[in-house]
Structure 1
Amino acid sequence: MSSPAITVRTPRDIIDYVNDHPTGTGRTRLLAIIALGGVFVDAYDFTSLGLGIGSLTKQWGLGAVRVGLLTSVMAFGALVGALVGGPLVDRLGRYKIFILDLILFVVAAVAAGLSPNYGFLVVCRFFLGVGVGIDMPASFSFVAEFTNRRRKGNFVNFWQAMWYIAVCAAAAIALPIFLGAGAANLWRWLVGLGAVPALVVLLLRLRFTEESPMWAAHNLGLGEAARILESSYHVSVDVQPAAGDGADHGAEAAWRRTKELFTSHYRRRTALASIISGTQAAQYFAVGFYIPTVAAVLFGDDLTDTILATLIINLFGIVGGVLQSLVTGRLGMRLLAGIGYVLIIVCTVSLAFGSDSISVWISTGLVALFVLGQSFGPGPQGKTMAALSYPTRLRGTGTGWAESMSRVGSILGFYIFPLLLASVGLAGTMGWLTIIPAVGLLAVLLIKWNPLTAEVEDEPQEAITR
C-alpha cells in the first residue's frame, strides 16, 4: 500500500483515524450510499401503498377502519423493529443486522404483492415494517462510523434526498403501469416491485460492505478493526495493543443502554432528537402519505393527474434534501430544522386560511413548499441528530430510540389526517396540523445541543444505579 502505516494501540486510535481522515475514499463514499439504500427501500414502499390504496380499497371493498389499519400497520412494525433493533445493532454489529433485515424485507414484499386476502396483507405489511425499523439504526450508525468528522452530517443527511428520489421513482413506475394495465391491480404491482430495490441493495451490501471499524474496535478486537480499516481506507495498519484494550463484545445489557439515554448527561440530546423525530414524522406522514389524496382534492379524481402531481410535488423534496446535505456542516442541524419548521408553518397557515380563495396552482405550490421545508429542515435532522449525538457503544440504541419516536409520530399522522380531512376539510386540517411544527420549532429554540461541534466519543459511560 502506498500510504504510510498507522499505529493502532487502542480502539480510540481507530475512531480518531476515521474521524480525522481528510476526505475518505471512493469506496467509503460508495459504502455510505449503499448503507442508505435501506432508506430508498422504505420510501418506495411507503409511496407505493399511497398510490395504490385507491385500487386496493375498491378491489377488496375496504372501509375506513380497515384502510387505517393497513396504512398504519407497517409503522407499528417499524416501531417494534426500531425498539428491538437499536440495542441489537449495538450488541451484534451493524453488518449482520442490515443484511438480515433486507432479507426479511424482500420476502415480505413479494408475499405482500401476492396476498390472497386482507389479513395476509396486513401481516406482510407488519413484517415489512419490522425490517425497516431494524434497518434504520443499523444503516445510520454504519454511515456515521465510516465518514470523517467534518462530513458526517453531510453524508448522514443525504438520506433525505434518497427518500425523495425513491418517492419520485415509485410515482414514475406507477404511471406506465396504470396507463398499460389500468388501476385494478396497480397496488399489487407497486407493492410487489418493492422487492426489486430491496434485493439490489441487499446484493450490493453483500458484495461491498463489511462491519463498521468503530464498532469492531470496541467489540471484535483491534486486529479485526485494523483489517477493516486497511480494506476500506487503503492504509497499512500496525497493531500494537495496549494492556486492557481488548474487545468488550457488547456485553452490556440492552436495557442498561436504553436507560443511559435518559441519564442527566444524555437527557437533553435525547429529548431534542425525540421531539424532532416525532414531529417531523407526524407532519410528513399526515401530509406526505396523503399527497395523492391532496392532489385528488385539488385536481379531481383522474389518477393520471394525481400521479403526475405527486411526482412533481416530491421533486421539491429532492431539491431540499440535496441542498441541506451540502450545508449541514456550515449551518448546523438545529438551524436547518428551525428554518424547515418555519416554512412548514407558513404553508399550513396559508392553506388553512386561504385554501378556499386561492387557486389550485397556488395550493399545489404551498404543498410543494411544505415538502421543500420538510426535506430541508426537520425531516433529515430527525434521524441524523440521534445518529451523531451518541458514542459508538450507544449509537445504535440512541438511533433506534429516535426511530421509534418517528414511528409513533407516523402512526399519529396516518390516523390524524384522514379523520380531520373528513370532519373539517382540507383548510381545517392544515390549521390543526400547524400545532405539530410549532412544537418542533419551540424545541429547537429551547434545547441547545449541536452534535457537530461535540466530541461524543470522549464521553464517559455513566453508571446506571436506578
Structure 2
Amino acid sequence: MSSVSELESQRYEINSPNDVSSLVSKFAGQGKSNKVIWLALIGVFIDAYDLTTLSFGIDQVVEEFSLTPVMTGVVASAIICGTIVGNILGGWLTDKIGRYRVFMADMVLFVIAAIVAGFAPNVWVLILARFIMGISVGVDLPVAMSYLSEFSKFSGKSNKAARLAAWCPMWYAASSVCFGIVLALYFLLPPEHINWLWRASLIFGAVPALLIIFIRGKYLTESPIWLANQGDLAGAAKVLRESYHINAHANVARVEKKQIERQQEGFLVLFNKTYLSRTIVSIVIHISVAFQYTTIAFFLPSILSRFFHTDVLTTISTTLGLNLLFAFTGGLLGVYVASRFTSRHVLLAGFVLQFIALVVLAWIGQPANSVLLYLAIGMLGLWLFSEGFGPGAQMMVYPTMAYPASIRGVGVGFNRAVTGVAQAIAMFVLPIWMANYKTDVFLIISIFAIVPVIVIGFLIKYEPTKQDVDAVIEKDLDKKIVGHAIPD
C-alpha cells in the first residue's frame, strides 16, 4: 500500500468518472476514508438498535398504556411502516441529492424522534415518534450501503463485499447491546420503576446519532463516485485529496454526458432487461430473510417463553447469549468469507443450513426433556449463525454491488422497502400462525429458506462480486462522454 507522502507526490489526472472509480478501488483505506466506513456502520448500529428496542419492551408498553391487541399491533408496526416510506424516499434522495446531505438529515431526524418516543406521554405520541424513527431507519440504510460500497476497493482484503457484509455483525452487535442494556436495567431499576426500562433504552439510541452529528465535519464527506457520476469531476478530485490524500486533479471542472440511449431514472430502471434478473433475485432474498428473521430473531423472546417456557430473566439472558454466541460470531465470519467466496455460494450455504435448522425445530416441537431443549436451542443458534454469515450479510452485498452508483440508492431502497412490506405482513400473520400451528410454524417458515436455494442455485445465477459494476458502467459511458470546461 502506498504511503501518504507517495500518494501526495504523485499527480493523478481525472478525465472521467471511471478514473475516480479506479482510484477509489485502488487506494480505499488511505487517509480518513476508513472513518467514513465506521460512521456508515454506526448508522447501521442505530437502525438495528432502534428496531430491537421494543421486541422485549412491547409488553411494558401494553401494560403502561392499557393497549388492546389492535393498538398493540399498531404500535409494533408503526416503525415498520415508517421504514417502508423511508426506504423509498431515502433511496431516491440518496441518488438525487447525494449521500452526505441525506445521511446527516436522517441522523438529526432520528435524534429528535428517539427522544420524543422515550418521553411519550401517551400512545399516540409514541406511535407517531416510532413512525418517524422508522422513516429515519429506512432513509439511512440506502445511504449507508452506498457509503460502504463507494469508499471501498473492489478486490483484496477489506473489499466492497467484506465491508458491506460488516453491516450484519454491526446489526447483531446493536441487538446484543440493546438486550445488554435491558438486562442491566432489569437489575438496576427499583421494582416500582421497572416501567422506565423501555423508555431508557429508546432514548439511549440517540447517543450514537449525536456522535455522528458532532464529528461529521472532521471525517464525513460526499462520495467521490457519486460526484463524478453527477459530472462534478473537480468536486470528486477534491474529496480524493482530502479523504484519501491522493494528489488528484480534474482536467475539466465538469463533464457533460451525451448518451446514445438515455438511461432510465427512478425505480422503473430496476425492471429493465439489464437489471430485471438481479432485481428478482434481490426480491427473493429480501422476502425470504424478512419472514425468517421476523420469526426467529424478532420473536425469539416469544419463542423461548411460549414454546420453551422460560421465565423473564432466562428469556432475556438466553436471547442475549444466542445473539452474541451465534448471530454476532456468524456475522464476523460473514465478513471473512465475503472477501474470499462468491456471494451466490455464501447465500446458498446459509439458506441450506437455515432450512435444516427450521425442519429440526419443527420435528422437536415443544421439547419434552432437557436433551431436546438443548437441541432446540442449538438449532436456534445454528439458524442465527447461518443468518449471520449467509443471507443476513449477503442481502445487502447483493443489491449494493448489483446496481451501479447512479441507481444504487434506488436499488437498495426498493429492496429494503420490499423487506419492510414482508416484515409487516410477517408481524401480522406470525402470531396467528404460532397460535394455530404451534411449533409447526417452523415448517411453514422453512419454505422461505428453500425457495431462494432453488432460485439462486438453479434459475438465476448472476454473481454481483464477479466484476465491479461501477467500472463496467462507467467504461461504457466513457465512450459516450464529451468533456468541456464550465466557465466561471
TM range (shorter): over 0.9
Q: Does 1:214 align with 2:214?
A: no
Question: What does residue 6 of structure 2 align with?
Answer: 2
Question: What does residue 320 of structure 1 align with?
Answer: 330
SS of the equivalent of 2:265 reads helix
The question of whether the paired residues in 2 share the 8 Å contact of 1:281 and 1:379 is answered with no
Q: Does 1:106 align with 2:117?
A: no
Runs of 4+ in 1 over 4 A off after TM superposition: none
SS of the equivalent of 2:6 reads coil
Name the aligned partner's letter for residue 306 of structure 1. Answer: T
Give the number of equivalent residue pairs: 454
The question of whether the paired residues in 1 share the 8 Å contact of 2:351 and 2:449 is answered with yes
Q: 1:118 aligns with which of 104, 123, 139?
A: 123
Alignment partners' CA distance in 2, 1:451 and 1:348: 28
Name the aligned partner's letter for residue 359 of structure 2. Answer: V
Question: What does residue 342 of structure 1 align with?
Answer: 352
Q: 1:416 to 1:374 in 2, by over 3 A?
A: farther
Alignment partners' CA distance in 1, 2:38 and 2:250: 29
Q: Does 1:13 align with 2:19?
A: yes
Name the aligned partner's letter for residue 179 of structure 1. Answer: F
Q: Does 1:392 align with 2:402?
A: no
Deviations 1:443-464 (A, max 9, x none): 2112111111124232358xxx
The question of whether the paired residues in 1 share the 8 Å contact of 2:342 and 2:466 is answered with no
Alignment partners' CA distance in 1, 2:207 and 2:143: 21
Alignment partners' CA distance in 2, 1:74 and 1:124: 9
Deviations 1:36-91 (A, max 9, x none): 21110111112211121121122222232222221122111111111111111101
Give the RMSD, CA atoms, in angstroms.
Answer: 2.0
Tell me the CA shift for residue 247 of structure 1: 8.0
Q: 2:90 aligns with which of 62, 73, 85?
A: 85
Tell me the CA shift for residue 153 of structure 1: 0.2
Q: 1:384 to 1:186 in 2, by over 3 A?
A: same
Question: Which aligned pairs between 1:54-69 and structure 2 lie closer than 5 A?
Answer: 54-69=59-74
The question of whether the paired residues in 2 share the 8 Å contact of 1:59 and 1:184 is answered with yes
Q: 1:203 to 1:384 in 2, by over 3 A?
A: farther
Q: Does 1:420 align with 2:433?
A: yes
Alignment partners' CA distance in 2, 1:84 and 1:154: 27
Question: What does residue 365 of structure 2 align with?
Answer: 355
Question: What does residue 148 of structure 2 align with?
Answer: 143
The question of whether the paired residues in 1 share the 8 Å contact of 2:231 and 2:255 is answered with no
Q: 1:290 to 1:201 in 2, by over 3 A?
A: farther
SS of the equivalent of 1:453 reads coil
Question: What does residue 438 of structure 1 align with?
Answer: 450
The question of whether the paired residues in 2 share the 8 Å contact of 1:109 and 1:192 is answered with yes
Name the aligned partner's letter for residue 322 of structure 2. Answer: I
Q: 2:208 aligns with which of 197, 202, 206?
A: 197
The question of whether the paired residues in 2 share the 8 Å contact of 1:277 and 1:381 is answered with no
Identity across the alignment (%): 31
Q: 1:302 to 1:201 in 2, by over 3 A?
A: farther
TM-score, length basis structure 2: 0.89
Question: What does residue 464 of structure 1 align with?
Answer: none
Which sits farther off after the overlay, 57-66 or 335-344? 57-66
The question of whether the paired residues in 2 share the 8 Å contact of 1:274 and 1:382 is answered with no
Question: What does residue 274 of structure 1 align with?
Answer: 283
Tell me the CA shift for residue 224 of structure 1: 1.0
The question of whether the paired residues in 1 share the 8 Å contact of 2:31 and 2:243 is answered with no
Deviations 1:337-361 (A, max 9, x none): 1111111111111111112345322
Question: What does residue 166 of structure 1 align with?
Answer: 174
Alignment partners' CA distance in 2, 1:373 and 1:65: 34
